[in-house]
Structure 1
Amino acid sequence: MLLPSVTILTALLASAGVVGNPVAAPGPTPAPSLKDTIIRRAANCTFSGSIGYSLASKSKTSCSTIVLSSLTVPSGVTLNLEKLNTGTNVIFQGTTAWGYEQWEGPLFSVSGNQITVRGDPGSILDGQGTLWWDGLGGAGGKIKPKFFRANDLTDSILEGITIRNAPKNSFSINGVTRLTVKNITIDDSAGTSNGKNTDGFNINNSDQVYFTGVKVWNQDDCMNVNSGTNIYWTNGFCSGGHGLSIGSVANGTVVRNVTFENTIMEKQQQSVRIKTVSGAVASVADISYSGITINGGTDYGILVDQSYGGTKHEPTNGVTITNFQLRNITGYVDSGATQILIECGSGSCSNWSWSNVKLTGGKQSTTCLNKPSSISC
């Protein structure tokens, strides 16, 4: 903005500590940037339209509150809000949409300490997944970007965000400590025919992550913990996907103290699931599911699979699964599904405690392998 007089410009520069007492013989010193002075002082910044994404990424450390209002992000570009200043607030308003391009993504990324990312009522992050969905997910066809990367967040909050039509995985949560995820909606229901690998939440190397009030319509895991500790999920809803999952647990990883409770599982491939990679050496301990209502299961109600990625029905025993608790798991599976299937490696599953696990419909398995003696299959 052009200022009307030299007097105003001089006053602003003086207040910023730029203009000092005159020297005896001043030389041709270039004037400081008034624009930079104003940006450094900015508190609340609003970015919108087709160039807002670029300005937001460039100015992110100059704003204590970043409002992203109806942004249009071009194809092949990450809306990058990584390394924010401590205490920064990010607010989505209106519809934020991303253009089409075959690439890995992510479409949005954020990191920092004491960060709040919030969606205002009615706001939508639109991944336009129908442009990518081809029924192949990450196994071929079009290269599809992941959506929302939350890495290296500490003491932070994700709240009130609505994601619609993610091309592939929605939330990748990696290396976070003390993160609250509340009242999030992921709606990939339009991908029922062609959507694939549209995971809701993927958790890796994270500690103390708390989920509440999350709703997910998708075509893969509603939420899965690949590695991490002290993860708590409550009051959720999952439809059309592959369940609340531990894993796939890969070599050298640890999953410990994970709780899922008070959640409705609708039309899942399986609702309760532990999957460990064939041949891996790792640890899964202190896993609890309680108050889970299963309304339909196309394959299984409860599945423990220790042959994931290897030869089916030949579980390996390098991953121990200990203190696996199920309480009040009720509902039904579809007519062609199996209520419970357990395939553990020899001696790898121990100290399980199940109570009030009551599923109807489908069939009971006659091929469970190496299950703890106290558990019915």
Structure 2
Amino acid sequence: MHVFVSFIHLVSAGAGLVSAIPGPSRATQLNERAESCTFTDAAKAIESKTSCSTITLKNIEVPGGETLDLTNLNDDTRVVFEGETTFGYAEWSGPLVSISGTGITVEGAPDSVLNGDGSRWWDGQGSNGGVTKPKFFYAHHLDSSSITGITIKNSPVHVFSIQAKDLMLANITVDNSDGDTQGGHNTDAFDVGESSGITIVGANVKNQDDCLAVNSGENIVFTSGTCSGGHGLSIGSVGGRDDNTVKNVTISDSSVSDSQNGIRIKTVYNATGSVSDITYSNIQLSGITKYGIVIEQDYENGSPTGEPTNGIPITGLAIDEVTGMVEDDATKIYILCGEGSCSDWTWKDVNISGGKASDECENVPEGVSC
């Protein structure tokens, strides 16, 4: 931002007088930003991102191996995606898009789509091997902000990585359904970590991994969501990170269909941390192929040890009105807690049909049936 100082030289009889007139105020300078800029070129949008109060990205093509970098935006900037945003191919970790700032409004125009064309990377291994795949969207340090009405299609791997304070994500569509038959894997829709005040409302997700995974953070809400094809609504895995505390999470009024799990809480074997004050309410299940409700304290990156540990207690868990069905060869409820590490649980109106009961549950809290 330029600072202008004007000097007026006044010469009077017998003396020279120099007077400085201060430049425009900060408010005036901010008003000098263009109100609205439309970009069709990614590089120009990145270069000029602090020059516009509204940034419209129209049919942007982002080169392979590069990020659509809209970090450190001016306060209260509005970002609008129009048309189809596409990304070139490169084997790298991403992200494809990164946005940060305070008071930022991110919107998807009607019929717009951010198309990752993930099949170019999909090999059935996700982030566990094969080609290196880029994560899609970093919402890191995107504080007191909102992301509304955007559609993401065919992410190469994880979709949203959220590390923010007071962020609302509303009416987001994640459609990775092509990955069901083309090798999509680890396509988590919303990974939340080191965050507070996150609200996700009205999400519509079709993917091959967690619809929601809260790895750390507090005061997090997921409501009115539809999840299909993935691994369910998850807390964790918790443990083994810099921040291993999850507190005050409410997941409500949502459905999980045609997925491995419905509700899942997973803490890492031999790790430390805490999970507390978690509520699942009014969750409808259908077509669940593995577990309707699964809570386990033996997690090791997809290969549970079968031996729970108690370094990450799960306390204050409320499950209320979880209903629906699991497939015939699935398990309705599986609970594997460490000794004394699961307590103060309340379950009400849990009614899951189909499948089978587990005979391998351990350390089930009082008042809870497995």
* TM-score exceeds 0.5: yes
**Change in 2 beyond 3 A, CA 1:220/1:89:** same
Matched residue of 1:222: which SS? Answer: strand
Asked if 1:44 corresponds to 2:32, the answer is no
Q: What is the alpha-carbon distance in structure 1 between the residues aligned to residue 48 and residue 270 of structure 2?
A: 47
Q: What's the CA shift string for 1:139-168, capped at 9, x where partnerless? A: 111110000000012110000010000000
**Change in 2 beyond 3 A, CA 1:65/1:311:** closer
How far residue 264 of structure 1 moved from its aligned partner, in angstroms, is 1.0
Name the counterpart of 1:80.
69
Name the counterpart of 1:239.
228
Match 1:192 to one of 173, 176, 180: 180
Q: What is the alpha-carbon distance in structure 1 between the residues aligned to residue 140 and residue 6 of structure 2?
A: 42
Name the counterpart of 2:100.
111
| One-letter identity of the residue aligned with 2:280 | Y
Q: What's the CA shift string for 1:215-248, capped at 9, x where partnerless? A: 0000000011000000011111000000110000
How far residue 312 of structure 1 moved from its aligned partner, in angstroms, is 2.2
Matched residue of 1:138: which SS? Answer: helix
Q: What is the alpha-carbon distance in structure 2 between the residues aligned to residue 23 and residue 195 of structure 1?
A: 74
TM-score under structure 2 length normalisation:
0.90
Q: What is the alpha-carbon distance in structure 1 between the residues aligned to residue 10 and residue 52 of structure 2?
A: 35
Name the counterpart of 1:297.
288
TM-score under structure 1 length normalisation:
0.89
Q: What's the CA shift string for 1:184-235, capped at 9, x where partnerless? A: 0000000002100000000000001111111000000001100000001111
Asked if 1:70 corresponds to 2:59, the answer is yes
Matched residue of 1:317: which SS? Answer: coil
Name the counterpart of 1:258.
249
Asked if 1:323 corresponds to 2:311, the answer is no
Alignment of 1:265-284 (within 5 A): 265-284=256-275
Q: What is the alpha-carbon distance in structure 2 between the residues aligned to residue 286 and residue 152 of structure 1?
A: 25
Contact 2:269 2:305 in 1 (8 A): no
How far residue 253 of structure 1 moved from its aligned partner, in angstroms, is 1.2
Q: What is the alpha-carbon distance in structure 1 between the residues aligned to residue 366 and residue 144 of structure 2?
A: 42
Q: What is the alpha-carbon distance in structure 2 between the residues aligned to residue 21 and residue 60 of structure 1?
A: 35
How far residue 41 of structure 1 moved from its aligned partner, in angstroms, is 3.6
Matched residue of 1:54: which SS? Answer: helix
Q: What is the alpha-carbon distance in structure 2 between the residues aligned to residue 361 and residue 288 of structure 1?
A: 24
Name the counterpart of 1:158.
147
Q: What is the alpha-carbon distance in structure 1 between the residues aligned to residue 259 and residue 105 of structure 2?
A: 31
Alignment of 1:1-377 (within 5 A): 41-48=33-40, 52-174=41-163, 176-193=164-181, 194-251=183-240, 253-309=244-300, 312-377=305-370
Matched residue of 1:275: which SS? Answer: strand
How far residue 351 of structure 1 moved from its aligned partner, in angstroms, is 0.4
| One-letter identity of the residue aligned with 2:36 | N
**Change in 2 beyond 3 A, CA 1:204/1:92:** same
Name the counterpart of 2:22.
none
Q: What is the alpha-carbon distance in structure 1 between the residues aligned to residue 10 and residue 180 of structure 2?
A: 73
Moved over 2 A (4+): 16-24
Taking only the aligned residue pairs, the percentage that are identical comes to 49
Q: What's the CA shift string for 1:159-182, capped at 9, x where partnerless? A: 0010000000010001x1111110
Q: What is the alpha-carbon distance in structure 2 between the residues aligned to residue 41 and residue 267 of structure 1?
A: 49
- Gaps in structure 1 of 5+ consecutive residues: 1-15, 25-36
- Gaps in structure 2 of 5+ consecutive residues: 12-28
Q: What is the alpha-carbon distance in structure 1 between the residues aligned to residue 307 and residue 8 of structure 2?
A: 82
Q: How much is the aligned-residue C-alpha RMSD, in angstroms? A: 1.8
Q: What is the alpha-carbon distance in structure 2 between the residues aligned to residue 311 and residue 61 of structure 1?
A: 47
How far residue 373 of structure 1 moved from its aligned partner, in angstroms, is 2.2
Q: What is the alpha-carbon distance in structure 2 between the residues aligned to residue 119 and residue 354 of structure 1?
A: 39
How far residue 20 of structure 1 moved from its aligned partner, in angstroms, is 7.6
**Change in 2 beyond 3 A, CA 1:311/1:157:** closer
Q: What is the alpha-carbon distance in structure 1 between the residues aligned to residue 220 and residue 4 of structure 2?
A: 49
How far residue 22 of structure 1 moved from its aligned partner, in angstroms, is 9.9
How far residue 23 of structure 1 moved from its aligned partner, in angstroms, is 11
Q: What is the alpha-carbon distance in structure 1 between the residues aligned to residue 122 and residue 171 of structure 2?
A: 26
Matched residue of 1:61: which SS? Answer: coil
Paired positions, count: 345
Q: What is the alpha-carbon distance in structure 2 between the residues aligned to residue 276 and residue 333 of structure 1?
A: 23
Q: What's the CA shift string for 1:257-281, capped at 9, x where partnerless? A: 0000010111111010000010111
Matched residue of 2:64: which SS? Answer: coil
Structure with greater helix share of residues:
1
